[in-house]
Structure 1
Amino acid sequence: MEAQVVGQEKLMIDVKRKKDGMARGLGKVIGYTVGIIGIIISCLLFATIIGIFPGITLFFGSLGIIYLSSGKQQVKCPHCQKRQPVVKGVENFKCSKCQNLTVVNWK
């Protein structure tokens, strides 16, 4: 992982994308399926007056399941050396510790 200067507080790093295993792929499919079914059920609950509050809870819970199912990889911030999870394929991330923007070049 080599850092290149892009701007004043921006660095660009090259990160090798790790392959997911078979179990991780199956977990992604199950997570996305459960999340989409939860969103559909929450939309049906929104239609009723009684089901609005459970529908809101189910909707945000389903979005959380879909987010957790997306593939993440640990990346080290070139500014402060903190390791943090980054969704695979994103173009950049903002470090939670030093608040600096880092551009990611996936290989």
Structure 2
Amino acid sequence: MKRAVLACAVGAAVLIGPGAATAGATGQLRAVPAHGAPRATHPVGEVVSDAALHVRQKPTVHSGVVKVLRPHQRILLNCQKRGGWVDGNPVWYRIQGSNGWVSARFVHNLQPVRPC
């Protein structure tokens, strides 16, 4: 039975092309990026504010500003946690690489973000 499943999986991968899927030692399929395609290590978010967005030291509007992001800028999100409420939203994202936080009210996560 496992050989039949593996043969079907390999056959499907050949028909679909590179970057489709591969079967591991357990016979379960896992995604494989196409040759040369970078693999995202952190979820991507996009600033949805019409004005510049402040990146804060802590997840609250009362914390100091460490950086400013442009409208529609794409950023990498490290994790999320509850913080100070902003327009009815208590979720804040920790930004990858800047050691700061942005309110989820003004950032649309394009992929799921793990909790901190």
Q: As a proportion of its length, which structure holds more strand?
A: 2
TM interval, shorter chain, is: under 0.3
Q: As a proportion of its length, which structure holds more helix?
A: 1
- Please report the TM-score for the alignment, with normalisation by the length of structure 2: 0.23
Identify which of structures 1 and 2 has the higher relative contact order when contacts are C-alpha pairs closer than 8 Å and 6+ apart: 1
- Please report the TM-score for the alignment, with normalisation by the length of structure 1: 0.24
